[in-house]
Amino acid sequence: DIEWAMSEAAGFDGGYAMTIRVNTLKKHGKIDELLTAMKNWDKLRLKNAFTEEQKAKFRLPETEWHLEDKGNGSYDLYPISVSKRYNCDLSELQPGQPGGADWSLDTPYDGKAALRLKVDGDGPISNIMFKTASSTVKFNCEVDDGQYLILGFDGKAEITDKNYKTIETVKPQGEFTVPAGTSAIAFSCDHDKDCCPDVIVRFMTRGQPETINE
């Protein structure tokens, strides 16, 4: 959300105002990353580093972008596609039925994907797996109520609390890739028969980067 707002500001070559409470600064586990992203977008905007074509794309509210600092004043600019929220209500499953769901994902980009899974309600879940036409990835971990399982584009995964503070790093088994277009994703997990939380998942894919120099 921060990078969406920053890309919009860059597209209109305008300033912005943002209010962040002190408690948020103290509690948010990713605040350093967010502040760095704001600094990078502002720096490149003020140096007029973006082309007019890029600015026109930034102005489209449906687009998402990510800046990755490569060092020495060079950045990779990625177009990002963020899926809708997919929900698996484990309480709706029949007794003895394995936990999981089958979803349809539509994305313009293929290759390695990222995901964010949240457990909401009476947890935990474990032995989490996602399967696509091109890959299978498993997470041998336990995610409890209010916690997130986050897999990045770099293949690294972690469990965080509700404020995105890292609780545990997780080593995924396999890779998570998706094809461009419409494809199926199968989700499965284990859970106690007496614990049936909601599982909410969003998927992210990205296109080829453009190089931006200060």
pLDDT of 65-79, one tens digit each? 999 999 999 999 999
Structural domain of residue 162, as residue ranges?
Answer: 83-206
Residues 89 and 123 reside in one and the same domain: yes
User: How far apart are the C-alpha atoms of 107 and 119, rounded to whole Å?
Assistant: 24
pLDDT, tens only, 108-154:
999 999 999 999 988 799 999 999 999 999 999 999 999 999 999 99
pLDDT at 191 over 90: no
Q: Is residue 110 part of a domain?
A: yes
Residues 111 and 194 reside in one and the same domain: yes
Residues 55 and 90 reside in one and the same domain: no
Residues 93 and 54 reside in one and the same domain: no
Residues 158 and 195 reside in one and the same domain: yes
Q: Is residue 69 part of a domain?
A: no
Q: List the CATH number of the domain containing 131.
A: 2.60.120
Residues 56 and 87 reside in one and the same domain: no
Residues 198 and 151 reside in one and the same domain: yes
Of the listed ranges 25-34, 45-54, 106-115, 157-166, the one predicted with least confidence: 25-34
Residues 141 and 111 reside in one and the same domain: yes
pLDDT band of 166, cuts 50, 70, 90: very high
Question: Would you tell me how many other CB atoms lie within 10 Å of the CB of residue 111?
Answer: 15
Average pLDDT over residues 171-180: 97
The total number of structural domains that make up the chain: 2
Q: What is the mean pLDDT of the chain?
A: 92
Residues 8 and 46 reside in one and the same domain: yes
What is 26-86 written as a DSSP string? HH-TTHHHHHHHHHHHHHHHHTT-S-HHHHHHHT-TT-EEEEEEEETTEEEEEEEEEPPPE
User: What was the pLDDT predicted at 14?
Assistant: 84
pLDDT band of 90, cuts 50, 70, 90: confident
pLDDT at 18 over 80: no
Residue 57 or residue 90, greater confidence: 57
User: How far apart are the C-alpha atoms of 211 and 204, rounded to whole Å?
Assistant: 21
Residues 134 and 181 reside in one and the same domain: yes
Q: Of 62, 96, 114, which closes a domain?
A: 62
Q: Of 32, 62, 92, which closes a domain?
A: 62
Residues 127 and 91 reside in one and the same domain: yes
pLDDT at 15 over 90: no
Residues 102 and 175 reside in one and the same domain: yes
Q: Is residue 74 part of a domain?
A: no
Of the listed ranges 3-7, 53-57, 123-127, 192-196, the one predicted with least confidence: 192-196
Beta bridge partners of 186: 102, 131
Closest listed residue to residue 183, CA positions, set 127, 116, 108, 128? 108
Average pLDDT over residues 201-205: 98
User: What was the pLDDT predicted at 97?
Assistant: 52
